[in-house]
Amino acid sequence: MTFEQLLQYVASGLTNGSIYALTALGFTLIYNATDIINFAQGEFVMLGGLSAVSLHEAGAPLPVAFAGAVLTVTVVGILFELLAIRPLLRSGVLTQIIVTVGASLAFRTGALMIWGRDARPLPSFSGETPVRLLGATFNRQTIWVFGLTLVIVVALQLFYRRTLTGKAVRACSINPMAARLMGVSYSRVVLLSFAVSAAISAAGGVMITPASFMSYASGSLIGLKGFAAAILGGLGNPLGAVIGGLLLGIIEALSVGLLPGGSSGYKDGVAFLILVLVLFARPQGLMGGRIVDKA
């Protein structure tokens, strides 16, 4: 493999990896607020992509379709929290898993009924002409995806570190009881976490659609890989989620390049292999997550 080829694989890995990173971040926000793993996270990505496709087909310019899709999915996330999660915040883990799994089935089937089976495209954000850099050719969308992901990550970091609301959310994830005693409304923190989590996942969905299309069934796989990324980085650690996502994307892309015959069929297996291995060997992940209930 030449250096240019390596660069190309890394670039394509970063495109998918950015989406995994955003999805992993979405998992992390909800997990930190509620201790719930939202098995429907990937469906937010899918709903984001497909909503943007519909809005764009209805004549909305891309930026408007982008914003509209993110807004739509944010509302979906809020409704999901209010209707399905709130009554179960104090239920057992198994109940919570089953409810989010049931929700993902409902979202996926709902999307199938609205958008049908076919994968839908969206035009690239700024044309199809590739960019040449360091001897390798890059897709323009790659730059958009990676750049916007960085912007979102930095903005979230500022929000959680610098604003009072953000600090309240972090306080809740450290010790909800103490946070409540200080006057933080726990239910609002949970609602906000679902809203932000749905929004960033939807943004990921809109960004990836021009590069790899979107169908009703695409969400689950992205969601699962996002989770694998979150576990790889250390569940509950936002920075870990981002690094885990990018790393997973790059490993996946390189596995296509390095595996004999360049078979891409096994590509999807890489994430699950990493997921299972990390869970067995080092459940706290690379960056160290929150306490893992393992023993």
Partner 1 sequence: MVAFLRRHVAFLAFAVVMMGLPFFTSNTYYLSVLAFTATRLMTSLGLNLLMGQAGQISLGHAAFVGMGAYGSAILTTRFGMNPWLAMVVAAVVAAVVAGIIGIPTTKLKGHYLAMATLGFGEIVLILLIQVKSITKGTDGITGIPSLAIGNLVFTQYNPRAMHLLLWGVALLMLRMSLNLADSRVGRALKGLHRAEVAATSLGVDATFHKVQAFMISAVFASIAGSFTAHYVQYISPGSFTLTFSVLLVTGVVIGGLGSIWGAVWGTLVMMILPEYLKQYEDATNLVFGILVIVIMIFLPGGLVSLGSALGKLRTRVGGRDRRAADTSDPGSLEGNARRPGGAA
Q: Does 258 bind partner 1 (CB under 8 A)?
A: no
Q: Which of residues 122-151 bind partner 1 (CB under 8 A)?
A: none
Show the site string, 261-280: x = touches partner 1 by CB under 8 A, - = not. --x-xx-xx--xx-xx--xx
- Name the residue nearer to partner 1 (CB basis): 51 or 220: 220
Q: Is 254 exposed, middle or buried (0-12, 13-18, 19+ CB in 10 A)?
A: middle
Tokens of 161: 């570190």
**With CB under 8 A, what is the number of residues at the site for partner 1?**
56
Q: How far is the CB of 233 from partner 1 (least distance, A)?
A: 14
Which is nearest to 278 in space by CA: 254, 252, 248?
248
Q: Name which position in 222, 229, 231, 251 contacts partner 1 (CB under 8 A).
A: 231
For 159-176, the DSSP string reads: HHHHSHHHHHHHHHHH-H
Q: How far is the CB of 31 from partner 1 (least distance, A)?
A: 8
Q: How far is the CB of 81 from partner 1 (least distance, A)?
A: 12
Q: Name which position in 20, 44, 66, 107 contacts partner 1 (CB under 8 A).
A: 107
Q: Provide the 8-state DSSP code for 83.
A: I
C-beta pairs of 154-162 under 8 Å, 24+ apart in sequence? 156/25, 156/196, 156/200, 156/238, 157/238, 160/238
Q: Does 7 bind partner 1 (CB under 8 A)?
A: no
- Name the residue nearer to partner 1 (CB basis): 77 or 210: 77
Q: Name which position in 67, 78, 97, 171 contacts partner 1 (CB under 8 A).
A: 97
How many Cβ atoms are within 10 Å of 213's Cβ, its own excluded?
A: 15
Q: What span, in angstroms and rounded, lies between the C-alpha atoms of 22 and 18?
A: 6
Reduced to 3 states (helix: H, G, I; strand: E, B; else coil), residue 51 is: helix
Q: Does 91 bind partner 1 (CB under 8 A)?
A: yes
Q: How far is the CB of 152 from partner 1 (least distance, A)?
A: 24
Measure Cα distances from 188 to 11, 172, 191, 202 in Å: 39, 11, 5, 21
Q: Does 101 bind partner 1 (CB under 8 A)?
A: yes
Q: How far is the CB of 291 from partner 1 (least distance, A)?
A: 8
Q: Does 112 bind partner 1 (CB under 8 A)?
A: yes
Q: Does 239 bind partner 1 (CB under 8 A)?
A: no
* Positive or negative torsion for Cα 105, 108, 111, 117: negative
Measure Cα distances from 219 to 43, 112, 213, 223, 285 in Å: 5, 12, 11, 6, 24
HSE value, Cβ hemisphere, 13 Å, CA-based, for 29: 28
Q: Name which position in 21, 25, 145, 224 contacts partner 1 (CB under 8 A).
A: 224
How many Cβ atoms are within 10 Å of 189's Cβ, its own excluded?
A: 23
Show the site string, 148-187: x = touches partner 1 by CB under 8 A, - = not. ----------------------------xx--x-----x-
Q: Which residues bind partner 1 (CB under 8 A)?
A: 35-37, 39, 83-84, 87-99, 101-110, 112-113, 176-177, 180, 186, 220, 224, 227-228, 231, 263, 265-266, 268-269, 272-273, 275-276, 279-280, 283, 292-295
